[in-house]
Amino acid sequence: MSQRVRIGMIGGGQGAFIGAVHRIALRMDDAFDLVAGCFGRDPENTRVTGAQLGIDPSRCYDSWEQMISDEAKLPEDQRIEAVSIVTPNHVHHGPAKAAMEAGFHVICDKPLCISQEQADDLATTVSSTGRVFALTHNYCASPMAREARERVARGDLGTIRKVFVEYLQGWLSEKLEETGQKQADWRTDPERSGPVGSLGDIGTHAYQLLEFVTGMKVTSIYAKLHTFVEGRALDDDDMVLLEMENGATGTLCSSQVCFGRENGLRLRVFGTKGALEWNQEQPNDLQVTGEDGSVTTIRSATGAAGDAAASLTRTPAGHPEGYLEAFGNIYSAFARAIRGEEQPVDCAYPTVEDGVRGVRFIGSALLSNKENRWVDIPG
């Protein structure tokens, strides 16, 4: 990287989970300098977090509005160039729009926002400002997810017929939000999470990975959203029948009440000539079924994997290559895009269009669940 990108962070202060993940990722390739932040709604939280991170106290701001406004007034060679947004879902749209309009690039946690109106507005803002916008659907930046995409694209599986994707967790099997656990508290609150719970939190990951690997859009869905934990305001379990643009059919399941499950994101794709399966809890392995019925395990960091997967591989063969490394791949691609440098692969990072697709998926699922019918996904 020719020069570090100066970046500020919104959210991710004391008690947050995902902020620390983003900070590890942005440091992974020495491509960023975290020089400013508003790390929470409480100014004291921001001051404490900023002190721990070694950030100049004068650039630890009481509000995200102040951060964007004051940073924009600094000399061009001192102000931040990009903003990382790691807040709950309801605080994605406002900071992202304001940051881009102030001239800053944006990398944002998923889902993009909490309504279709907000999603369309952000897409328009990206187009009108010309800023780089990245969305951290990190799983698609795993080497073996990339390997799967490449194999589908070159026709190894023939015509895709069936697709199955699931993301199973168990951490919300009980009403954890009543204990004061911060991550459960906001994710089950419609004011902060938006109109869905599990579907937005992990279902959008599954949806994005499915479209990324197959290279096809989901065109129609029939969704049933469930709330198993009594008194919970949002869905904690979802089942979706789906149809792809080529006529392939399949299912998407996202659940946070599968007792004992941790982060069981699994994708299976079946074609006329072969099949593949990837489980992110064993991220180094891609199971490939050939036309003769043989089943082969393709391992990352080996000669069996292609150039695209190799370009994202960070660890020697036999070492786990997973969650944090994939985040790092997205941040590195974001930095290269800001600097106008060549990317090692196509679709190097999820964009605002991926985010808009995810919000449309949520809206279509809500309508399908409400009216008990198949619903087309716009676009």
Give 342's DSSP letter. Answer: P
Report d(CA 379, CA 376) in Å as an integer: 9
Q: What is the per-residue pLDDT across 131-186, written as a single tens digit (0 to 9) for each? A: 999 999 999 999 999 999 999 999 999 999 999 999 999 999 999 999 999 999 99
Specify the 3-state DSSP secondary structure of 10. Answer: strand
Percent of the chain at pLDDT > 90 equals 97
> Average of pLDDT values for 103-117?
98
State the first-to-last Cα distance of the chain, in angstroms, to the nearest integer: 36
Specify the 3-state DSSP secondary structure of 254. Answer: strand
265 neighbors 257 (Cβ within 8 angstroms): no
Q: Which domains does the chain have, with CATH numbers?
A: 5-131 (3.40.50.720), 140-315+352-371 (3.30.360.10)
Residue 306, pLDDT above cutoff 90 = yes
Handedness of CA 141, 147, 152, 157 (dihedral sign): negative
- Summary mean pLDDT of the chain: 97
> Average of pLDDT values for 24-32?
96
Instruction: Give residue 172's identity as a one-letter amino acid code.
Output: L
Residue 320, pLDDT above cutoff 90 = no
Say if residue 111 is preceded by a cis peptide, omega within 30 of 0: yes
What pLDDT is attached to residue 246?
97
Q: What is the per-residue pLDDT across 338-350, written as a single tens digit (0 to 9) for each? A: 999 999 999 999 9
Residue 204, pLDDT above cutoff 90 = yes
What pLDDT is attached to residue 1?
44
Residue 379, pLDDT above cutoff 90 = no
Kindly give the residue spans of alpha helices, DSSP state H, lying in the chain.
Answer: 18-27, 43-53, 64-73, 93-101, 116-129, 143-153, 182-187, 190-193, 198, 204-214, 307-312, 323-339, 352-371
Residue 2, pLDDT above cutoff 60 = no
